[in-house]
Amino acid sequence: MSPDASNNTPAAVPTDLTVHAQSQVLEVTFDDGAVFKLPFELMRVYSPSAEVQGHGPGQAVLQTGKRGVTLTALEPVGHYAVRPRFSDGHDSGIFTWPLLYQLGRDQIALWADYEARLAAAGASRDA
């Protein structure tokens, strides 16, 4: 399951982004009142980059060993997205507002899918 922000995601815009380094979450407050706490690990394993998602359907690469990954920077991309830099060196994913909203809204299902894929591959969240 890869996030697809085009699927029924409101056109909400963040009014606040707060990096909580100690709890390892990005708190995103949207103008529709929604507030999501996105774990850095979730963001990293569902990065929209080609390195993670591949270049076409079915080409996603399972990310393993990402528990404990942190954000080292969060850069704005125009007025529509941010680009996080993660402690493992990954920095090529651009997270649009609709994608951040979808990650927050669907994070329970995304976690379950990720853990199921790790189990099926005999892999772990730990490095």
- What's the count of helices (H) and strands (E) in the chain, helices before strands? 4, 6
The string over 41-66, giving b where at least 16 C-beta atoms fall within 10 Å of a residue's C-beta and e elsewhere, is bbbbbbbbbeebbeeeeeeeeebbeb
- Residue 99's SS3 state is helix
What number is the average pLDDT over the span 20-30?
97
Q: What is the pTM of this model?
A: 0.91
Non-local (6+) Cβ contacts of 91 within 8 A are 73, 83, 84, 85
Nearest to 47 by CA among 57, 34, 62: 62
Q: Across the strands, what pairs with 103?
A: none
Instruction: Tell me how far apart the alpha carbons of residues 71 and 77 are, in angstroms, rounded to a whole number.
Output: 16
Q: What mean pLDDT comes out for the span 88-105?
A: 97
The CATH number of 14-121 is 3.30.2020.30
Structure token pair of residue 100: 């951040």
Asked if residue 5 has pLDDT above 60, the reply is no
pLDDT band at 6 (very low <50, low <70, confident <90, very high): low
For the stretch 29-83, pLDDT in tens is 999 999 999 999 999 999 999 999 999 888 999 999 999 999 999 999 999 999 9
Contact assessment for residue 12 and residue 97, using Cβ atoms and an 8 Å cutoff:
yes
For the segment 3-25, the average pLDDT, to the nearest whole number, is 84
Rg of the chain over Cα atoms, rounded to whole angstroms, equals 14
